[in-house]
Structure 1
Amino acid sequence: MEYAENILGTIGNTPLVKINKLAEEIPALVLAKYETFNPGNSVKDRMALKMVEDAEADGRLKPGGTIIEGTSGNTGMGLALVAIIKGYKMICVISDKQSKEKMDILRAVGSKVVVCPTNVDPSDPRSYYSTSKRLAEETPNSWYVNQYDNPSNARAHYESTGPEIWKQTEGKITHFVVGVGTGGTISGVGKYLKEQNPNIKVWGIDTYGSVFKKYHETGVFDENEIYPYITEGIGEDILPKNVDFSVIDGFTKVTDKDAAIYTQKLSKVEGMFLGNSAGAAMKGMLQLKDQFTKDDVVVVLFHDHGSRYVGKMYNDEWMRDRGFIEDEATIAADLIKEHANKPLITVRTEELVGHAIERMKEYKISQIPVEDITGFVGALDETDLLREYMANKNISDLPIKDVMSKPFPIVQKTTSVEDVSKLMNKENNAVLVDLGDGKYHIITKHDIISAL
């Protein structure tokens, strides 16, 4: 009979899968190292087991102890599985930008989850780096894993992932492409592959807001490159010791939007239900297509499973809120579809300016049409009101007709976005769109910018 003694025995030996339609513009054979087949559904299971076994061997982790780690979710999952089998407690420290699914999954396998703010400096005591270290100092019989600087991380991939790829491709691999976070995967796999064939090229996928690409190219750690980003699992605002830049031939950066879009494309086009970093890796590989020839064999590693992102990259509302859905706005009606169900807020000519101000504050709007019994006869803009107020502090008691400007232009709902844009200028910050049946809506500069 063939069976594993426990779930840890199923880690590794993941398949290579050919990428077809999405790789049509790449001349080479493109193969995905499909790491979701690990029991924790990610590549991190490999190094989680290795780090624990090495810590047990040298006495850093003692029986009945508590494992503590800062994680984006996947390492925590791998460590949690190891902790269950080996009888340890697990505390995962995670940043608040990670998906709710990741946090729920970690709790489902018995881990305690501590959530920390993302947008703080690594040295800030609230960061998940600092919090992990503090908890390790405060918790008796605990071990702080520190996957970023723990050499067992890269060693796990040198001993397992790299040899698997070499064997599965029969030594024909010419390029290895992978997202870079802690650096363990790219460094361990890259080191092994280059020992077998120094001509193999190793490419890292980075994200905007991360320091890797510029540091690799210039040796400069540029803090101006550090800013918040949405992409999960890759990029860093530190230089982990596990990143061996000497085995990396180059980096390419992928935007948050492209990473999210290609995460969905992998699922809908290739049937590969994968995580956010896979989308970044796929788009990064397409950006590198000029590096490949028809005789090359390119292996791209896909880190984790799509189940951890169903509320984010696989949620169209979440994608649309961030401008990631590629809905092209072509006519005036497209510009207002997100708020077309809301009523048009107006004021009357005989109302007082104070009424208009209150209405603008209540509905958080900057422009408001003015009407009388004949229709739209004027407009108010917050900039004009401010200018009038500076000249006359009693403006609130004046009738609106005394301070209003000329009415906003009116366009049809089928008017092109380009023609609508031409009507926007310094004197005119909005346009009214005729929806028919006596209904109108307002298009502002913000609506046009949001549609770009």
Structure 2
Amino acid sequence: MDAQPTTPTRPTVVDGLAGAIGNTPLIRLRRASAATGCEILGKAEFMQPGGSVKDRAGLGIIQDAEARGQLTPGEPGIVVEGTAGNTGIGLTLVANARGYKSIIVVPRTQSREKLDFLRMIGADLRLVDPKPLRDPGHYVNTSRRIAEELQAQGERVIWANQFGNLANAAIHEATTGPEIWDQTGGRIDAFTCACGTGGTLAGVARALKARNPKVRIVLADPMGSGLYSWIKTGEVKAEGSSITEGIGQASAAPGNLEHGRDCIDDALQVDDPTALAQIFDLQQHEGISLGGSAGVNVAAAVALAKRMGPGHTIVTILCDGGARYQSKIFNPEFLREKGLPVPSWLA
């Protein structure tokens, strides 16, 4: 029997965009829970104003810059960032609400939907070719260079630096983690999610471990990323490849993730077919449309539940919605080209 609607905990009226970020519901994933005998719960970050968990990072980074006096609401300022897309969206929306401009540098290989959204909300979008992190043309290095050039010209500008800026993890420690704890009534046995910057995992991990050191924290990693190896061996060593966007690092652990390393207990690897199976199943049978990183997260939660055994409560992050990847993971031609399964309703 489906659960009855409950009274929302969010205030009826919130103060602007910032007030609308956070306090997302936990969704019980019925089929994953039934298959494992565990309670598998997804934090519905796709319900954020900008459509992803990265709204929190955008707010946290800009609020931190304001607290440091680097930016002042209502006065001219520029936010510069290199991103796979979602952090750029979160930063741009918060910047708009505060009266700042935004310059967002994105690899041109990211989904068309995210690029179109960034243009739509007014970001100064700069597309670059995909390069390894050591290359000066990498999107992160390009964004840092743009920020430095603007600073040299006397502009009031910040380089958001989501990978190394600990304000990213801090807002998850202050909001996402405590929300999960309160929503589960403290009855949580494990938390798992994938990492791009590591801010979500590190921040939630620190918040949960502070409340109960026995909560198990597990990094979920797509193929092609070296973070699984980093947790297991201390060495960042990547194997394989993945179509997922915005998660996984092939060359180095980001600063936010290193900040939370002492709270991470284990890691799991998830391949594309397994992640896609979860995405397609959730959409077809539970009406929840999600992007690729959420598929990795749910698949990891299922794998973790099977390891831990029935009766446990496991929480993960439903990072963003499927509409942001329509041209890729919901595109039969793209999937066939990659040798990946096509859902029956698209075949």
State whether TM-score is above 0.5. Answer: yes
Q: Structure with the greater relative contact order (CA < 8 A, sep ≥ 6): 1 or 2?
A: 2
Count of matched residue pairs: 326
Separation in 2 of the partners of 1:171 and 1:289? 18
Matches within 5 A, 1:285-434: 285-325=301-341
Residue 270 of structure 1 corresponds to 286
Of residues 55-64 and 174-183 in structure 1, the stretch that sits farther from structure 2 once superposed is 55-64
Query: Is the Cα contact below 8 Å between 1:28 and 1:292 reproduced in 2?
Result: no
Q: Secondary structure at the match of 1:242?
A: helix
1:72 aligns to 2:84 (yes or no): yes
Query: Is the Cα contact below 8 Å between 2:280 and 2:343 reproduced in 1?
Result: no
1:116 aligns to 2:128 (yes or no): yes
Separation in 2 of the partners of 1:165 and 1:180? 18
Structure 1 residue 326, shift from structure 2 partner: 5.6
Residue 133 of structure 1 corresponds to 144
One-letter code aligned to 2:83 = T
Which one has the largest radius of gyration? 1
Separation in 2 of the partners of 1:90 and 1:131? 14
Residue 51 of structure 2 corresponds to 41
Residue 240 of structure 1 corresponds to 254
Query: Is the Cα contact below 8 Å between 1:231 and 1:259 reproduced in 2?
Result: no
Deviations 1:58-95 (A, max 9, x none): 12235311100111111111111111110000111111
Q: Secondary structure at the match of 1:14?
A: coil
Deviations 1:246-293 (A, max 9, x none): 111111111133323432222112211111101111222222233223
Matches within 5 A, 1:33-182: 33-62=43-72, 63-118=75-130, 120-139=131-150, 140-182=155-197
1:206 aligns to 2:217 (yes or no): no
Residue 344 of structure 1 corresponds to none
Structure 1 residue 116, shift from structure 2 partner: 1.8
**Unpaired stretches in structure 1, ≥5 consecutive residues:** 329-337, 339-452
Structure 1 residue 187, shift from structure 2 partner: 0.6
Q: Secondary structure at the match of 1:91?
A: strand
For the aligned residue pairs, the C-alpha RMSD in angstroms reads 1.9
Separation in 1 of the partners of 2:240 and 2:35? 32
Query: Is the Cα contact below 8 Å between 1:262 and 1:279 reproduced in 2?
Result: yes
Deviations 1:308-341 (A, max 9, x none): 111111122221221112699xxxxxxxxx9xxx
Query: Is the Cα contact below 8 Å between 1:233 and 1:276 reproduced in 2?
Result: no
Q: Secondary structure at the match of 2:117?
A: helix
Separation in 2 of the partners of 1:61 and 1:291? 47
Query: Is the Cα contact below 8 Å between 1:161 and 1:189 reproduced in 2?
Result: yes
Q: Secondary structure at the match of 1:313?
A: coil
Structure 1 residue 228, shift from structure 2 partner: 5.3
Structure 1 residue 104, shift from structure 2 partner: 0.3
Separation in 2 of the partners of 1:242 and 1:197? 21
Residue 41 of structure 2 corresponds to 31
